[in-house]
Amino acid sequence: MRWIGPCTALLLTPYLASPQAQQTNPPQSAPEPKIKFAQTPYQPITGRQRVKWVLISPFEPENLLRGLFSAGLGTASNTPREYGPHWDGFAKRYGMRFTGVITSKTMEAGLGAIWGEDPRYVPARDKPFRERIGHIFVMTVMATRRDGQLRPAYARFIAYPSSNFLSNTWRVDSVSDTSHALARTGYGFLGKIATNTLKEFWPDAKKYIFKR
């Protein structure tokens, strides 16, 4: 009878060594991979789009409103005084600002083309409200490059002050000095914030204002 135990163990050894016997618990199924939605890749701005941006963007509602506000404020305060506080002065102020805008945008688009800086503003409408506010300020001083990465908007940093100092050559004497050029540069960045804000939220506001 002593041989029964060893023989039984010998017979059961292949079964105990099999994978079915070693698995005390069934294997857990691997977690399903998370679904990732494909994002539209960034498309760098083309030369034709740069020209269009220079020629069309000054006539966008955001820029036209800024021009009306700036000319209206200058007419109300009679600044510069050479233009006078009347409709003729309003037209001169509006036209003077318009020449500055065209000059600035031409510089920004031209310089940005050298290192692939995109001057366009792309709203972040799929983001939460707080992130959209941050996006407005970030895109005031940053721009997208050819590789889709954000970098400081060097072309804008050069174009804003350069165009304002250059415009001193055709502005009236009372506003054609360094201090006024620097002030106009600062107003330019503030105006960029205002323009970005309108582009970001105006489509949403329009849905509520003009909803049927």
Mean pLDDT to the nearest integer, 8-26: 43
| 37: Cα separation from own chain's centroid | 22
Across the range 110-128, mean pLDDT stands at 95
pLDDT for res 12:
40
What's the confidence (pLDDT) of residue 207?
A: 80
Q: Which domain holds residue 158?
A: 94-209
Sequence-distant (6+) residues with CB within 8 A of 67 are 94, 97, 98, 101
| Structural domain contains residue 106 | yes
Tens digit of each residue's pLDDT (9 = 90 or more) over 74-110: 999 999 999 999 999 999 999 999 999 999 999 999 9
Alpha-carbon distance of 124 to 172, in angstroms, equals 41
Domain-embedded: residue 6? no
- Is residue 171 included in any domain, yes or no? yes
CA-to-CA separations, 162 to 16, 60, 146, 157, 169, in angstroms, rounded: 85, 23, 24, 9, 12
pLDDT on residue 208: 79
Distances (CA, A) of 174 to 98, 168, 177, 209: 19, 10, 8, 42
Alpha carbon distance, N-terminus to C-terminus of the chain: 97
Say if 14 falls within a structural domain.
no
Residue carrying structure tokens 């209206």: 72
Residue 173 structure tokens? 């004497």
Q: What is the pTM of this model?
A: 0.77
pLDDT tens track for 33-49: 443 333 467 889 999 99
Q: Which residues contact 102 (CB under 8 A, 6 or more apart)?
A: 54, 58
Give the total number of structural domains in the chain.
Answer: 1
Q: Is residue 137 part of a domain?
A: yes
Would you say residue 15 has pLDDT above 50? no
The answer, yes or no, to whether residue 113 has pLDDT greater than 70, is yes
For 199, half-sphere exposure in the C-beta direction (CA atoms, 13 angstrom radius) is: 22
Residue 203, domain member (yes or no): yes
Q: Which H/E stretch holds residue 57?
A: none
pLDDT at 23: 46
- The answer to whether position 110 is within a domain reads yes
> What band does 65 get if pLDDT is binned at 50, 70 and 90?
confident
- Residue 40 falls inside a structural domain: no
Each residue of 131-187: pLDDT tens digit? 999 999 999 999 999 999 999 999 999 999 999 999 999 999 999 999 999 999 999
